[in-house]
Amino acid sequence: MKIAVVGATGLVGQKMLRVLEEQKLEVTELIPVASAKSAGKTVLFNKKNWLVITAEEAIAMKPQIALFSAGGSTSLALAPRFAAVGTIVIDNSSAWRKDPAVPLVVPEVNAHVIKETDRIIANPNCSTIQMVMALAPLHHAYGIKRLVISTYQSVSGSGVIGVSQLENEQNGQFNGQKAYPHQIHMNLIPHGGDFDESGYTSEEQKLVFETRKIMEAPDIAITATVVRVPVSGGHSMAVNIELANEYAIEDVRKLLQNSNGLSLMDEPLKNVYPMPLFAADKDDVFVGRIRRDESIPNGLNIWVVADNLRKGAATNAVQIAAWLIKNKFLD
pLDDT per position as a tens digit, 112-134? 999 999 999 999 999 999 999 99
Residues 6 or more apart whose CB falls under 8 angstroms from that of 107 comprise 316, 319, 320, 322, 323
Confidence at residue 26, expressed as pLDDT on a 0 to 100 scale = 86
CA angle in degrees (0–180, nearest 5) for 307-275-18: 25
**Please, what are the domains in the chain?**
2-124+313-326 (3.40.50.720), 127-307 (3.30.360.10)
pLDDT per position as a tens digit, 169-227? 999 999 989 999 999 999 999 999 999 999 999 999 999 999 999 999 999 999 999 99
The dihedral region occupied by 253, where left means phi > 0, alpha psi between -120 and 50, and beta the remainder, is: alpha
Whether pLDDT at 331 is above 90: no
CA angle in degrees (0–180, nearest 5) for 56-60-63: 105
User: Does residue 126 have an active-site annotation?
Assistant: yes
Catalytic choice (126, 139, 140, 185): 126
Catalytic choice (112, 139, 140, 235): 235
Backbone angles phi, psi at 247, to 5 degrees: -145, 165
Question: Cβ–Cβ contacts within 10 Å for residue 226, how many?
Answer: 26
Mean pLDDT of 231-239: 98
User: Does residue 182 have an active-site annotation?
Assistant: no
Confidence at residue 78, expressed as pLDDT on a 0 to 100 scale = 97
